[in-house]
């Protein structure tokens, strides 16, 4: 059987506007986030050597600056580690859950707009982390819809002819919530586990794909989320 590997990477730590859905925030990595991305390149080079993976020379990332910077820096580090050239290809399909026209507004601002708009009701108290809820804004999507979009891209990428050789590993740099919901759509995470887990910044979660047996979690730990922890992805 042919096993292929999808290396899911949440971007490094970045400058985030407080009290605001991360979604489409345009800010860059912190210095710590840059260091995380460089360290990740060395880690992936070591994993590839240990497990005999053939890393794809193209790294996919979302259009958000934090993901693009992470991909660029890990490519730089990978290239130095194994003396091969890597390149970055941005993909809109890897974006975090969109809040549409409410992008980059704070949570109180969003709730105030909804309260004053006679067309809408106040969202549920857990709306930011509610997998099913979609804000009533043009271009918005639910977390499950975002996960479905990301899962479709992962499937398509892993089914391309150049990715079908056994041992091929493809790196995807994106966002924690969208990746977790994608993992649920792929049958890797149970629905109740989506909220229990997060993803570490710039640390890989590796899924194995086999055409006969489907998708499974292979390597890399999900981050355990504390009960009272505020979601930042």
Assign residue 64 the CATH number of its domain.
Answer: 3.40.50.1240
What is the extent of the structural domain holding 70?
3-224
pLDDT value at 1 more than 70: no
**CA proximity to 39, closest of 233, 204, 224:** 204
In a domain, 232, yes or no: no
Give, in order, the Cα–Cα distances in Å from 36 to each of 32, 152, 182: 6, 28, 23
What pLDDT is recorded for position 201? 98
Q: What mean pLDDT comes out for the span 111-138?
A: 94
Q: Where are the beta strands (DSSP E) in the chain?
A: 3-10, 54-55, 58-61, 87-90, 168-174, 197-198, 204-210, 214-219, 223-224
CA-based torsion, 16, 20, 21, 23: positive or negative: negative
Q: Specify the pTM.
A: 0.94
Predicted pLDDT of residue 114: 95
The answer to whether position 68 is within a domain reads: yes
Report the pLDDT value the prediction gives residue 228, as an integer from 0 to 100.
44
Backbone angles phi, psi at 3, to 5 degrees: -100, 130
CB 59 within 8 A of CB 40: no
pLDDT of residue 2: 83
77: in domain: yes
């Amino acid at each position: 059987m042919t096993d292929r590997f999808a290396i899911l990477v949440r971007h490094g730590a970045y400058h985030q506007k407080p009290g605001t859905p991360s979604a489409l925030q345009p800010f860059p990595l912190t210095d710590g986030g840059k260091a995380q991305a460089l360290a990740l390149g060395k880690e992936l080079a070591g994993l590839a050597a240990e497990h005999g993976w053939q890393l794809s020379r193209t790294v996919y990332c979302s259009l958000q600056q934090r993901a693009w910077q992470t991909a660029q820096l890990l490519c730089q580090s990978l290239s130095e580690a194994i003396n091969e050239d890597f390149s970055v290809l941005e993909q809109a399909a890897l974006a975090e859950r969109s809040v549409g026209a409410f992008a980059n507004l704070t949570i109180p601002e969003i709730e105030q707009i909804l309260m004053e708009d006679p067309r809408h009701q106040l969202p549920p108290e857990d709306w930011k982390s509610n997998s099913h809820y979609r804000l009533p804004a043009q271009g918005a999507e639910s977390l499950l819809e975002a996960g479905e979009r990301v899962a479709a891209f992962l499937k398509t990428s892993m089914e391309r002819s150049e990715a079908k050789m056994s041992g091929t590993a493809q790196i995807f740099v994106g966002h924690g919530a969208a990746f977790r919901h994608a993992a649920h759509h792929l049958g890797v995470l149970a629905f109740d586990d989506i909220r229990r887990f997060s993803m570490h910044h710039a640390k890989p979660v590796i899924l194995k794909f086999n055409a006969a047996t489907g998708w499974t979690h292979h390597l890399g730990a999900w981050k355990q989320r504390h009960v009272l922890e505020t979601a930042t992805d």
